[in-house]
Structure 1
Amino acid sequence: MKRAAPIRAADHDDSAEAPAQTSAPDYSGVTDFPMHYFAAIVRQNQLNLTHVLRPFELSVPQWRVLSALAAKDRHTVGQIAEFAVLDRSGLGRLLEQMEMAGLVERTSAPEDRRAVLIRLSPAGKKRRAAAFPLVVAHYRRLLRGISGAEYKALMGLLRRVKANALMMADVSLLESG
């Protein structure tokens, strides 16, 4: 299959109308919306991953926090919320529970002693390392039958949809303000 050349800014003519889609979806049924599939995949993945993490006494949100901290130790609560894709309002309580369980530790930021940074504790590192191979196997099963090229294309499309969603949120904030 031949790939279309990427659109460059120099190729764009603001005065021209966008071409009509020849096979636009009609969105007449709930399964005609891509977000239906995103929601179904996320829901089932949460259930499946919960089962994988249960022997390690970890919840999916805890796993996401541990993974965010494993990628770069010492995050602010806001950074963890962004990287782990968790609602900030419940994250403080989750981090308190994880701290009481010995999975994370709070430290002061060297440049501002009032700022709190979260880091993995040795026990958190150990628990994540123990669960990691099973989580990787879980995701390999989830993506079974998808080639490397398809995976790369899928990730590119997902990044584009995410960027569009974030851009829409920015526009909505401007319009409502």
Structure 2
Amino acid sequence: MDGTTGYRNKIDPSQEEYDLDEWPFYHLVKLTAAYHQKMDAALKSMELDVPRWRVLNILARRPHATVTEISVEAVAKMSTVAKIIQRMTMQGLVETRASTEDARATEVLLTDLGREKLHTALNRAGAVARQAFYGVEDTEIQTVNQICRKIYGNLLP
């Protein structure tokens, strides 16, 4: 098969055989929306949301990340991440300082309160993950990750 016939026509919006229910990105959007709804509900009482959770999670792995590094890893616009970090600073979850390596860059660091919230948020995210992956085999999760990485690579410039 040359990749343009059969099943590929069902996932090509330009083809007559295109079928939305077979379109992987449709399912990815639905999955992401359901995940965000569950996570927002789990985090709401902590005065967190998914964007703030994402920043906390990134800072747990990169304790002195710059705003630029966070925006790249969070796959979000720098201006959006800057606003999120401003809100998190007002909440006392993070603090910012000029980078020791490049004074033009701003580093973001977790505060003690941020670490406390992160610990609780990780437990709540774990509950969402256990629900999401209930009945899904480890090999299936690995396959989904491999396929997502491959497609992501195909879409990079």
TM-score bucket (shorter structure): 0.7 to 0.9
Report how far residue 124 of structure 1 moved: 0.5
- Structure-to-structure mapping, 1:23-172, within 5 angstroms: 23-27=6-10, 28-166=18-156, 170=157
Bigger mean CA deviation after superposition, 26-35 or 146-155: 26-35
Counterparts of 1:51 and 1:112, CA distance in 2: 38
Runs of 4+ in 1 over 3 A off after TM superposition: none
Equivalent pairs: percent with the same residue?
26
> Is residue 7 of structure 2 the alignment partner of residue 20 of structure 1?
no
One-letter identity of the residue aligned with 2:145: M
Counterparts of 1:94 and 1:131, CA distance in 2: 17
Residue aligned with 1:105, SS: strand
Larger radius of gyration: 1
Report how far residue 89 of structure 1 moved: 2.5
Structure 2 residues without counterparts, runs of 5 or longer: 11-17
Structure 1 residues without counterparts, runs of 5 or longer: 1-18, 171-177
Counterparts of 1:26 and 1:60, CA distance in 2: 35
Name the count of aligned residue pairs: 149
Counterparts of 2:94 and 2:69, CA distance in 1: 15
Report how far residue 64 of structure 1 moved: 0.2
Bigger mean CA deviation after superposition, 94-103 or 111-120: 111-120
